[in-house]
Structure 1
Amino acid sequence: MKEIKPLMLITILCVSSMMAFLAVVGPIIRKLGLQEWHAGVMVALAGVAWIFLSRFWGKKSDIHGRKNILLLAIFGFFISYLLLAIFVNYAVVTVPLVIVSLLVLMTTRLLIGVFYSAVPPVSNALIADKVAPEKRTSYMASLGASNGLGMILGPVLGGTLASFGLATPLYVAAILPLIAVFIVFFFLEKDKKIEKTKDTPLRFFDKRLRLPMIASFITMFSIVTSQVCLGFFILDKFQMGEIEAAKVTGYILAIIGVVFIATQIIVSKLKNVKSITWLILGSIFATIGYFLIGIISTQVELTLAFCIGIIGLGMIMPAFMAITSNSVEANEQGVAAGTVSSAQGFGIIVGPLLSTILYKISPEAPFFFASLIFAILVIISLLYKRKGILC
C-alpha cells in the first residue's frame, strides 16, 4: 500500500496537535481563573465526541469516500484549533469573565474532538480498502506506531513552546492539521466512484464486532487509567515531593512511549502472524504487566512492569483493528471502524472515573483491576479462536 507513509504522517501530525493541548491546559486554566475540574471536562469532551461521532464519520466515508471525509474533517480540525488559539491569545492579555472563558474553551475543544474523531476510523477503513486481510495487522501496527509517536511529540512540542507564551503552542498545533490537509489532498489517491448498494445498516452491537469492541474499550480504559493514576501512585508509593514525582512520571511515560512504538514496529514487520494470535499474546503481556505494577517496590521495577504491560498494548491495538476490518464487508469498513473507535471513546470517559474511585480504595487497585479485565480478555479471545477453528 503506497499510501501508508502519507497516512502515517497525517496521523503523527493530528495526534501531536491533539496532545499538545495537554501540556498547556493546566497553566491556561490557572491564568483564566478556572478550576481544575474544568480541565477534566475539556479533556473528556474529546471522548464524548469520539463515542457519538466516530461511527457517523465512518459511515459517511463509506458513502462519500475516505479522502473526501478526511479532507473535510481535518480542515474542520484546523479551523477549530485556530479559533482556540486566537481566543487564548486574547484571553491571557485581557482576561474575560470566567463563564465566557469556560464556554469558549469547552466549545472549541468539543469542535476539535468532533472533527478529530473522523481521523482514526477513516484511516483504518482506508487501510482495509487497500490491504489484503492477512496483512492488515501489519499496516494497522504501522499506523499505531505513528499514533504513539504523536502522543510523545505533542506534549514535548507544547511544553517547549509554552516559554514563548501560552497561545504559541496552540498556534503551532493548529498549523499541524493544516499541513495534514495538504498531504491528504496531494498524496492520497482520489476515491473510486462509490457504488450504490442496498442500505443494511451495521448495528452498534453487531455480533461480528463484539470482540474488537471489548478489546478496544479495555485497552483505552487501561491507557487512561495509567495516565491518570501514575503520578499519584508515584507520590504515594515512594513518598516523593511533587517536583521529583513529576520528573519520575515524565521519564517513565517517555520510556513506555518508546517501548510502545518499538512493539508496534515489530508487529508491523511480522506479517504472517494472525491477528487473533497477537490479541491473545498481547492480553497475556498486559495481564502480567498490570499485575506486577501492583506489587512493585522500586522505581526500576515499576518501569519494567509498565514496559511489560505496554508491550501487550502494542500488540493488542493493531490486532483488534485488523479483526474489525476482517469481520465485515467492503461497504461496511468505515462504519465498522467507527463503531469500534467509539468503544475507545467510552474507555476515555469511564477510565478516569472508575480508576480514581478504585484509587481511593487502594493505590494498587486500579492496576489490579486492569490486570483482571485483561485476563478476562485472554479467555474471551481464546474462546473466539477456538470458535473460529471449529467453524
Structure 2
Amino acid sequence: MRKSLIPLLIAVLVVFSAQQLLTPVLAPLSRELTLTETQLGLVITVAATALTIASPLWGHALHKIGLRLVLLSGLGLTTVGLTGFAAVAALGLDDTMPPPLVFALMLITRSILFGAGVAALPVAALAVAGTATTTEAERTRATGLVGAAQAASMVLGPAGGGALAAVSLMLPLYLAPVLCLLLSLWVLAAVRPPAASAPATHNGPGLRPWDARLWPLLVIGFFLYLSLGLVQVIIGFLVADRLHLGPQQTAGAVGIVLFAAGVVLVAVQGAAVPALGWPVLRLLRVGTPIAIAAFALLSLSQSLWLIATAFALLALGLGLAIPGFTAAATMVAEPSRQGSISGLVNATLGATFIVGPLLGTALYEIGPAIPILTALGAVTTALVLAWMSPAARRAQAATVAVPPGTPAEP
C-alpha cells in the first residue's frame, strides 16, 4: 500500500502546498486590489464549482486514460491557472488593469483553470488508496495518509506564504506556479505504469450519489466540510478586524493560525488515526463534538493565541471525523469503482466550498460571529446524522467489497 501511494502523496503535498502559499495573502491582497469580501468569496466559490464538476470527470478519466495522464493534465491546468493569477494580480496592483477586469480574470485563472486542475490530485490519491486496501483498518489508514498530505500542506504553505508576504504580497503568487511546474516535470519523469497504475476498469453503471448506502455518508461529509469552508475564507478578515492589524501583519498572523492547525492535522491524520485503529463510526462520533467545541471557542476569541487554539482544536476534531467519513464512503464500492467513488467524495468537498466561502463572506458582512455560529450548526448536524443515520450505523460493520483473492496492491 505505501509503495503505490508514495507518488500520489508527494503530488498532493506539493500542489496543495502551492495552493496554501496563497492563503495568508488572499484577504490583504483583495483589499489592496479594492475587491470586496464577497468578491473574494466568489473567486473561491467558482473554484469550488470547477472542482466539483471536474472531480467525477477525473474519476471517470482514471479508468479511461490512466493515472499518469490524469496527473499531468491536472497539473498542467493548475500551472497555467496560477501563472495567470499571478500576472493578473501584478497588473492590478500596478493600476495597469481596472478592478472589474482583475476580478473577471481572477475567476478564469484562479477559479476555473486552477479549480478544475487541482481536483485531479486527491481523486487519484483516494482511488489508489481504495484499490490498495482490503480491510476497514487499512482503508482508514490509507485515506488518513492522503488527508495527512493535505494537512502537511497547511503547515508548509501558510508558513511559507506568511514569511514571503512579509517581504512582498506577490512572492507567494510567483512561487506557487513554479512548484506546480516542477511537480509536473517530476511526474513526467517518475510516475509510470505499473508503479502507480489506474484502478481496474469497470464496464457496468457507475456508482450514483443517491445510492441509499452512500448518500447519508455524503451528507455527513458535506456538513463537516461546510463547517470548515465557512470559517476558512474569513480567517484573514477575522484576524485583521479583531486584532486591528495591517495587510502584511494580517498575512503573518494568518500564517501562524493555519500553521498551528496544520501541525495538529498532520499529527492526527498521519499518526493518531492509524495508531488508534478506531472504526469509522467512532472517528465520526468523537471528532465532531471536538469540532463543536472549537467553533464555540472561536466565536469568543479576541486574541491571536485563542484564535490559533480554536483552529488547532478544530483540526483535532475534523482530523478525526473526516477520515472516518472518507473511509466509510470508499468502502461502499468495490475496487473497480474506486475512481468513481473518489470523484464523488472529492466533489462533496468541492460542493461545500461552492456554498461555504460565498456564504461565509456574505454572513461576515452582516456580523463577524454569524459565519462561525453557522459552522457550529453545520457540524452539529453532522454529529446528529452520525448517531441517527442507518447508513452510518451500517458503516460500523461494513467490510470492503472485494472478490476473494484480490491483491492488496493495485
Q: Secondary structure, in 3 states, of the residue corresponding to 1:226? A: helix
1:208 correspondence with 2:213: yes
Q: Which amino acid aligns with 2:205?
A: T
**Per-residue deviation at 1:314?**
0.5
Given the two structures, how large is their TM-score scaled by the length of structure 2?
A: 0.81
Q: Which amino acid aligns with 2:67?
A: R
Structure 1 residue aligned with 2:139: 136
Structure 1 residue aligned with 2:46: 45
Counterparts of residues 1-391 of structure 1 (less than 5 Å): 1=1, 2-25=3-26, 29=30, 37-88=38-89, 95-109=96-110, 110-134=112-136, 135-162=138-165, 167-190=170-193, 192=197, 197-230=202-235, 240-243=243-246, 246=250, 250-270=255-275, 272-294=277-299, 303-356=308-361, 363-383=368-388, 384-387=391-394
Given the two structures, how large is their TM-score scaled by the length of structure 1?
A: 0.84
1:215–1:316 CA contact under 8 A, matched in 2: no
Q: Secondary structure, in 3 states, of the residue corresponding to 1:96? A: coil
Q: Which amino acid aligns with 2:127?
A: A
Q: Which amino acid aligns with 2:54?
A: L
Structure 1 residue aligned with 2:408: none
1:32–1:96 CA contact under 8 A, matched in 2: no
1:286–1:311 CA contact under 8 A, matched in 2: yes
The 1:71/1:299 distance shift into structure 2, 3 A limit, reads closer
Distance 1:145 1:390 in 2: 25
Query: Residue deviations 1:7-30, cap 9 Å, x none?
Result: 222112101222223344456556
The 1:121/1:96 distance shift into structure 2, 3 A limit, reads same
**Per-residue deviation at 1:197?**
4.2
Q: Secondary structure, in 3 states, of the residue corresponding to 2:46? A: helix
The 1:359/1:105 distance shift into structure 2, 3 A limit, reads closer
Q: Which amino acid aligns with 1:46?
A: A
Q: Which moved more, 1:294-303 or 1:198-207?
A: 294-303
**Per-residue deviation at 1:115?**
0.9
**Per-residue deviation at 1:193?**
8.0
**Per-residue deviation at 1:112?**
1.1
Q: Which amino acid aligns with 1:131?
A: T
Paired positions, count: 389
Distance 1:363 1:267 in 2: 33
Q: Which moved more, 1:83-92 or 1:312-321?
A: 83-92
1:10–1:183 CA contact under 8 A, matched in 2: no
Q: Which amino acid aligns with 1:118?
A: A
Q: Which amino acid aligns with 1:104?
A: L
Query: Residue deviations 1:115-141, cap 9 Å, x none?
Result: 112211121111112223321211221
**Per-residue deviation at 1:289?**
2.8
**Per-residue deviation at 1:220?**
1.9
**Per-residue deviation at 1:159?**
4.0
Q: Which moved more, 1:75-84 or 1:155-164?
A: 155-164
1:221–1:348 CA contact under 8 A, matched in 2: yes
1:23–1:158 CA contact under 8 A, matched in 2: yes
The 1:261/1:128 distance shift into structure 2, 3 A limit, reads same
Q: Secondary structure, in 3 states, of the residue corresponding to 2:320? A: helix
The 1:215/1:67 distance shift into structure 2, 3 A limit, reads farther
**Per-residue deviation at 1:315?**
0.9
1:139–1:268 CA contact under 8 A, matched in 2: no
Distance 2:102 2:365 in 1: 32
Q: What percentage of residue pairs aligned between the two structures are identical?
A: 26
1:138–1:267 CA contact under 8 A, matched in 2: no
**Per-residue deviation at 1:49?**
0.7
Question: What is the root-mean-square deviation in Å for CA atoms of aligned residues?
Answer: 3.4
1:77–1:112 CA contact under 8 A, matched in 2: yes
Q: Which amino acid aligns with 1:242?
A: L
**Per-residue deviation at 1:221?**
1.4
The 1:368/1:328 distance shift into structure 2, 3 A limit, reads same
The 1:91/1:334 distance shift into structure 2, 3 A limit, reads same
2:68–2:192 CA contact under 8 A, matched in 1: yes
Q: Which moved more, 1:252-261 or 1:317-326?
A: 252-261
Distance 2:159 2:396 in 1: 46
Query: Residue deviations 1:158-209, cap 9 Å, x none?
Result: 3444566655433321121222223434444515588664331322322232
Q: Which moved more, 1:107-116 or 1:360-369?
A: 360-369
Q: Which amino acid aligns with 1:80?
A: G
Q: Which amino acid aligns with 2:214?
A: L
Distance 1:235 1:94 in 2: 24
2:155–2:260 CA contact under 8 A, matched in 1: no
Q: Which moved more, 1:179-188 or 1:261-270?
A: 179-188
